[in-house]
Amino acid sequence: MSVTKSYDASSIEVLEGLDAVRKRPGMYIGGTGSGGLTHLLWEIIDNGVDEAAADHCDLIEVTFHNDDSYEVTDNGRGIPIDRKEGEITALEVVFTELHAGGKFGGGAYGASGGLHGVGASVVNALSSRMEVDINRDGATHRLEFNQRVAGRTSRTGRFTPSHKLEKIGKVPRTRTGTRVRFWPDTDIFDSEARIEYDEVRERLGQVCFLVPGLKIRLVDRRGSGNLAPEEFVSKGGLSDYVDFLSGESSQVTGLVRIGGTSKFEEKVPIDGKLTEVVRECQVDIAMRWVSDYETKIVSFVNTIPTPDGGTHVTGFERALTFAINDVLKTADPRKLRKLKDNGKAQKEDVQEGLVAVVRTTFPEPQFRGQTKRELGTPDIQKIVYEAAKSGLIDWLSGKQRGSKVHVRALMEKITDAIVNRVSTKQALETRRKAAALGNSGMPGKLADCRLHPGGELLIVEGDSAAGPAKRARDSAWQAVLPLRGKVVNAAKSTRKSVLDNAEATALFTAVGGGSGLEFDLEASRYERLVLLADADVDGSHIRCLILTLIFHYMRPLLDQGRVYSAQPPTHAVIVGQTKRFVYSDIEKDQLVDELLEKGRNPRVTRFKGLGEMDDEELLETTLNPDTRVLRRISLEDAKAAERAFTTMMGAAVEPRRDFIIKHSQAYGHTLDI
């Protein structure tokens, strides 16, 4: 540290405090990447927003400078500049003392947005330089910080530590405000960390809806520096926000506004003692239904977004479901009568097409979770529930001017949603039954592996081979799906009959990527598919059917070379202790001749199918990656299979045999996987 002389004891203490932030920036701002850097800017902006929310300010200007510094100006009361201890001003304390929370001496704001309450000093801790101007009492007062130390910079650029504020100009007495500019410390932040202008713009737009009447100006001085500033302002607050969120969607109802205020008690530690305090909580809800199916519920506590909701949103949602069912009970729409018990509206029914902003305002909110994206204060749930319930029941009664038509349209929409949900569920259940899914949602006959999506799915023909395959496989990464029934010919069937085919749906469900045009390779639960069928004509037949199915409904798997066919041997040739597998009659004859010539006496076992092999043999020839022979099936192969398959249908045995032999030769290479 270059500054030493004018250090007093308190300054050293202060620097030690700020050093704690520098040692663990993550604990204060979440990290040293773009997120953390952006956090710095919000720590500063939030202070201005708080001043605006307290109705002392109606303009905030945010500037991105060309030298990677950021500036925030407000026209609020200005941070107090009176002396606190000796020469040290309240202003300096704000920027140098951690947890100068309670907001500048406490009680200044009923419900501070400042999520962290440590704000400005954390920014100072992580900045190489700061410049603060306060307009108050007819003058602009300046204090700077250089490597966290308060002082001022001379015209020649020399920094001198000092606690004194410098009057740098006169202003009208009525002009008050705060201007803060900071230069994030490049020693702290990752070199690729950035504050995204667009992200800031989006958040500022949101802030405007929360503080109606507040004008926010965003200035980009980077690059050429002559871009026009952007301005945001909302007069209508949350109502404007709902309009904004509704976009172009056609509306089902008009805007519903619900508000209320309630008190609750909370025990908080004051001077180390748990003390009961009475809090006041304001509830503000704006909502409407549009003709979409999506639900948009945006929530805030004070000016803080709560993207994961929390107690306020839960209270709102419960009230909504309750109030709607209350009305449905009395209205008793004919469409719902035949559904009996199913006719009750569920959360998803009442929220279909809902656009809502839910905001609560109260001091010292508690947040849940690491990232503090969710409100935790328990009492808030009931407060919002009661406020929303009575507001909704009132609106739903249709007594408000012009609301009757909207209420009727809404009940129509919700009734349809219920009917739709119930019938979709029934359709799904029928389909699920067809595919005989187990309680995991997977086909009941699938013996799954534990590794996803890196494992392989062995598609096994018939029952006889399925048993040994399940026993001999490595269940860590090999799943077995036995296909028993008839596999549909995908080349000659409608989409519907393919989806009605139990074997096809079982395969689609097991693979998990859907089927057809929307097949999602990313969602595939396995790295590869391995077809395991007998080396005979029937095996070839089913292999062709499965390949055709994959070709038409899960083609990306073929494109990516993720489909294989296991090559089961036709015979085992045994001499003494050694067993060799051969894959065709020709190969068998050759080997037997060879051995006989050498004077050996080979014993030959013929496998009529996979089912005739013992577990050991199956493991060696089709399951164990060290010894088995797999053929990768290309897209071309699959097409050829379909063609050959078509000619095969009803043809004599000979062409079929040709087909099998040809293919054995074409793809008879071992793959090392």
Distance of closest approach, residue 341 Cβ to ligand TTJ, in angstroms: 57
Pick 78 or 353: Cβ nearer ligand TTJ = 78
* Cβ proximity of 264 and 281 under 8 Å: yes
381-440 residues in contact with ligand TTJ (CB under 6 A) are: none
79 binds ligand TTJ (CB under 6 A): yes
The type of residue at 247 is G
- Please, where are the H alpha helices in 266-402? 311-331, 334-337, 347-350, 379-396
Residues 152-181: x/- map of binding to ligand TTJ (CB under 6 A)? --------------------------x-x-
| Cα–Cα distance for residue pair 469/454, rounded to 1 Å | 19
Distance of closest approach, residue 114 Cβ to ligand TTJ, in angstroms: 9
Residues with Cβ within 8 Å of residue 484, at least 6 apart in sequence: 445, 462, 463, 503
Pick 112 or 509: Cβ nearer ligand TTJ = 112
| Cα–Cα distance for residue pair 132/652, rounded to 1 Å | 93
Distance of closest approach, residue 123 Cβ to ligand TTJ, in angstroms: 8
Compute the C-alpha angle 457/458/460, nearest 5°: 140
Displacement of CA 173 from its chain's centroid (Å)? 50
The strand pair at 149-153 and 70-74 is best described as unpaired
Distance of closest approach, residue 561 Cβ to ligand TTJ, in angstroms: 58
Pick 79 or 313: Cβ nearer ligand TTJ = 79
Residues 15-34: x/- map of binding to ligand TTJ (CB under 6 A)? --------------------
Distance of closest approach, residue 126 Cβ to ligand TTJ, in angstroms: 14
114 binds ligand TTJ (CB under 6 A): no
| Cα–Cα distance for residue pair 101/116, rounded to 1 Å | 8
- Phi, then psi, of 24 in degrees rounded to 5: -130, 70
- Which residue stretch of 78-86, 456-464, 492-500, 629-637 sits at the interface with ligand TTJ (rule: CB under 6 A)? 78-86
534 binds ligand TTJ (CB under 6 A): no
* Cβ proximity of 569 and 621 under 8 Å: yes
Distance of closest approach, residue 132 Cβ to ligand TTJ, in angstroms: 8
CA atoms within 13 A on the CB side of 354: 24
Pick 134 or 324: Cβ nearer ligand TTJ = 134
Residues 176-205: x/- map of binding to ligand TTJ (CB under 6 A)? --x-x-------------------------
Distance of closest approach, residue 50 Cβ to ligand TTJ, in angstroms: 7
* Cβ proximity of 88 and 163 under 8 Å: yes
Question: Across the beta sheet with 528-532, what order do the strands follow?
Answer: 478-483, 456-461, 528-532, 563-566, 630-632
Count of residues that bind ligand TTJ according to CB under 6 A: 17
Pick 112 or 206: Cβ nearer ligand TTJ = 112
77 binds ligand TTJ (CB under 6 A): yes
| Cα–Cα distance for residue pair 442/193, rounded to 1 Å | 44
- Which residue stretch of 75-83, 221-229, 244-252, 330-338 sits at the interface with ligand TTJ (rule: CB under 6 A)? 75-83
Distance of closest approach, residue 135 Cβ to ligand TTJ, in angstroms: 10
Tokens read off for 46:
């939030």
Distance of closest approach, residue 40 Cβ to ligand TTJ, in angstroms: 11
218 binds ligand TTJ (CB under 6 A): no
Distance of closest approach, residue 79 Cβ to ligand TTJ, in angstroms: 4
Report the DSSP beta bridge partners of residue 563: 529
- Phi, then psi, of 3 in degrees rounded to 5: -95, 125
Tally helices (H) and strands (E) across the chain. 22, 27
Tokens read off for 43:
């720590």
| Cα–Cα distance for residue pair 44/27, rounded to 1 Å | 18
Full 3-state SS string of 567-606: CCCCEEEEECCEEEEECCHHHHHHHHHHHHHCCCCCEEEE
Pick 44 or 557: Cβ nearer ligand TTJ = 44
Pick 109 or 289: Cβ nearer ligand TTJ = 109
Q: What is the dihedral of CA 16, 18, 20, 26, to 10 degrees?
A: -170
Say if residue 294 is exposed, middle or buried (CB neighbours under 10 Å; 0-12, 13-18, 19+).
Answer: exposed
Distance of closest approach, residue 23 Cβ to ligand TTJ, in angstroms: 23
DSSP class per residue in 436-497: TB-TTSSBTT-B--S-TTTSEEEEEEHHHHHHHHHHHS-TTTEEEEEE-SPPP-GGGS-HHH
* Cβ proximity of 581 and 621 under 8 Å: yes
For the chain, the straight-line distance linking the first and the last C-alpha, in angstroms and rounded, comes to 60
Distance of closest approach, residue 284 Cβ to ligand TTJ, in angstroms: 23
519 binds ligand TTJ (CB under 6 A): no
76 binds ligand TTJ (CB under 6 A): yes
Distance of closest approach, residue 61 Cβ to ligand TTJ, in angstroms: 9
Pick 104 or 659: Cβ nearer ligand TTJ = 104
Pick 47 or 262: Cβ nearer ligand TTJ = 47
Distance of closest approach, residue 62 Cβ to ligand TTJ, in angstroms: 9
Residues 34-73: x/- map of binding to ligand TTJ (CB under 6 A)? ----------x--xx--x--------------------x-
The type of residue at 644 is A
Please tell me the chain's helix, strand, coil percentages from 3-state DSSP, rounded to the nearest 5: 40, 25, 35
Pick 71 or 448: Cβ nearer ligand TTJ = 71
Residues 89-108: x/- map of binding to ligand TTJ (CB under 6 A)? -----x---------x---x
| Cα–Cα distance for residue pair 593/117, rounded to 1 Å | 89
Residue from 61, 74, 131, 503 binding ligand TTJ (CB under 6 A): 74
Distance of closest approach, residue 78 Cβ to ligand TTJ, in angstroms: 6
639 binds ligand TTJ (CB under 6 A): no
Residue from 80, 236, 260, 556 binding ligand TTJ (CB under 6 A): 80
Pick 76 or 468: Cβ nearer ligand TTJ = 76
Distance of closest approach, residue 311 Cβ to ligand TTJ, in angstroms: 29
What does R_g of the chain's alpha carbons equal in angstroms? 36
Pick 171 or 491: Cβ nearer ligand TTJ = 171
The type of residue at 296 is K
120 binds ligand TTJ (CB under 6 A): yes
Distance of closest approach, residue 70 Cβ to ligand TTJ, in angstroms: 10
Pick 82 or 522: Cβ nearer ligand TTJ = 82
* Cβ proximity of 327 and 212 under 8 Å: no
Pick 52 or 566: Cβ nearer ligand TTJ = 52
Pick 145 or 583: Cβ nearer ligand TTJ = 145
**Binding positions for ligand TTJ, rule: CB under 6 A:** 44, 47-48, 51, 72, 74, 76-80, 94, 104, 108, 120, 178, 180
